[in-house]
Amino acid sequence: MTGTPSDSALTALLPRLETLYTDIHAHPELSMQEHRTAARAADHLRAAGYEVTTGIGTTGVVGLLRNGDGPTVMLRADMDALPVEEATGVAYASKVTAVDREGKTVPVMHACGHDMHVTWLVGATTVLVQARDSWRGTVMAVFQPAEETAEGARAMIADGLFERFPKPDVVLGQHVMVGPAGAVAGRTGVITSAADSLQIRLFGRGAHGSMPQASIDPVIMAAATVLRLQTIVARELAPTEAAVLTVGALQAGTKENVIPDEAIIKLNVRTFDESVRQRVLAAITRIVNAEAMASGAPKLPEITPLDRYDLVTNDADATARVHQAFLAHFPAERVRQTGPTSASEDFGSFGAAWGVPSVFWFVGGTDPDAYARAKAANRLNEIPTNHNPRFLPVLHPTLQTGVETLLVAARAWLAPA
C-alpha cells in the first residue's frame, strides 16, 4: 500500500501507536486478568465506530465493522503477559506485580510480544475505518485473553463466539518473533507445534536424612525419572521425527536433612505429528510408573494435564493468497518462508472449530543490524527469545510492519469498493 491513502494514514498514526504500545508494555496483565488491556482495546474500537462486545470468555473483546456486502475477515490479537521479571532496562519497562491463580505474588512482563500484537490490531482496525471507501465486507477484530495458558480461544468459543458473531471467510493472525524487523515469514501446513504440559506427583516415604533406609526417597525417584524421560526423544523416536521434551520444574523437600514424602515434576512436550504425540505421552506414563515401581513407591504417581495446544495448520489456498499479497506489497527479500516452529499457539482453535481457513505468520522484531551481526558470528542463539526477561522488539520498523501485514492480508479478502 505504499503511496496510497492507507499508507499515509498509517504513517500519521505511528506516534499514537508507539504511545499505546509503551503504555500496554508498562502495564502487563496475567492470563484472564487482562481487564485494563481489554478496556483499552474496547475504547479504541468504539471510538473508531465498531460494534463492540466485551467480556467474552472473561476478558475477550470483539469489534465488528460492517461495510457493505462482502467477505467477513477475522483478525486476532492475544493480550496476556507472563509471570516474568523484566530485565530490558527501557524507560517503559514493567514494574508490575500481580497475584496469580495459586495466590502467589509474581512479577509480570510482556515477555512474548502480545503488547505488540494488541497495538498492531489497533493500528489495522483504525486504518481500515479510514480507508472504508476502498473496500466492502465485514472486519471482525478479536482481542483474545489467556493465550499463554491455552485457555483463551476455547473460553471465547465456549462463551458463544460462534453463535454471537458472523462466521468469517478467513481467520488471520500473526506473532512477533526473533528475526530481522521488517521481515515477515510464513508457510503452508503446520507452522506451530502441538504442546502438552503435565504435572507428575511422585509418592515416597519421608525420613530423617541420617536414616535413609527408612525412606523411599522421592528426590532420587524424581531425578532418575527426569534423566530417563530424556531418552524418549533420544532413543524412542526416529531421527526424522521431531519432538521436544522439557522438564521445567522439579520440586521436593524443604530442608537438607529431611527426606520428603513427595516430589513434583512439571514437564512440557512439543510435537508436530499426532502419532508422535501419542507415543511420547504413552512413553512418559510408562517411564514415570516404572521408575516409581523400581523405587518401591507406595503408590503409582499422579499424572495431571496442565494445558494443551493443538497444532496450528495453515490452509494451503489461503496461505498462498496471503503470500502473494505480501509479495505484491513488500520487497521480495522481506517475505520469507519458515519451517515449523516448536512454539505453540491456541490461534488454530478458531479456524479449526469454525471450519474455516486460517493463516498465521511471523513478524520479525529484532534490530536488523544486530540480527545480521549475530548471524554472521553464528550467535543467533544469544538473541533474547520470547519468554526471556530481556525480550523486547525494536519499535521501528516492527510497529509499522505488523500493521501493514494485517492490512495487506485482510485486503486480500475484502472486496474492492
Q: What is the DSSP string of 279-326?
A: HHHHHHHHHHHHHHHHTT-SSPPEEEEEEEEPPEEE-HHHHHHHHHHH
Q: What is the DSSP string of 213-240?
A: GG-B-HHHHHHHHHHHHTHIIIIIS-TT
Question: Within 10 A of 226 (CB to CB), how many other CB atoms are there?
Answer: 16
Q: What is the DSSP letter of 332?
A: G
The answer to whether residue 6 scores a pLDDT higher than 90 is no
C-alpha–C-alpha distance, residues 156 and 140, integer Å? 14
C-alpha–C-alpha distance, residues 298 and 304, integer Å? 18
The answer to whether residue 2 scores a pLDDT higher than 50 is no
Distance of CA 360 to the CA centre of its chain: 11
C-alpha–C-alpha distance, residues 361 and 337, integer Å? 10
Q: How confident is the model at residue 4 (pLDDT cuts 50, 70, 90)?
A: low
pLDDT for residue 7: 78
Average pLDDT over residues 365-376: 97
CA Rg, the chain, in Å?
23
The answer to whether residue 192 scores a pLDDT higher than 60 is yes
Class for domain 194-308, per CATH? alpha beta
Q: What is the pLDDT of residues 22-79, one digit of tens each?
A: 999 999 999 999 999 999 999 999 999 999 999 999 999 999 999 999 999 999 999 9
Which residues are within 8 A (CB) of 270 and not within 5 positions of it... i.e. 6 or more apart? Answer: 193, 194, 195, 243, 244, 245, 246, 342, 344
Q: What is the pLDDT of residues 147-184, one digit of tens each?
A: 999 999 999 999 999 999 999 999 999 999 999 999 99
Residue range(s) of every CATH 3.40.630.10 domain in the chain: 5-191+311-416
C-alpha–C-alpha distance, residues 22 and 395, integer Å? 9
Q: Which of 179, 77, 186, 181 has its CA nearest to residue 124?
A: 77
Q: What is the pLDDT of residues 204-222, one digit of tens each?
A: 999 999 999 999 999 999 9
Q: What are phi and psi of 268, to 5 degrees?
A: -135, 140
- 5-191+311-416 is classed in which CATH architecture? 3-Layer(aba) Sandwich (3.40)
pTM for the full model? 0.93
Q: What is the pLDDT of residues 115-142, one digit of tens each?
A: 999 999 999 999 999 999 999 999 999 9
Residue range(s) of every CATH 3.30.70.360 domain in the chain: 194-308
pLDDT for residue 9: 85
Q: Which residue has the cell 503452508?
A: 188
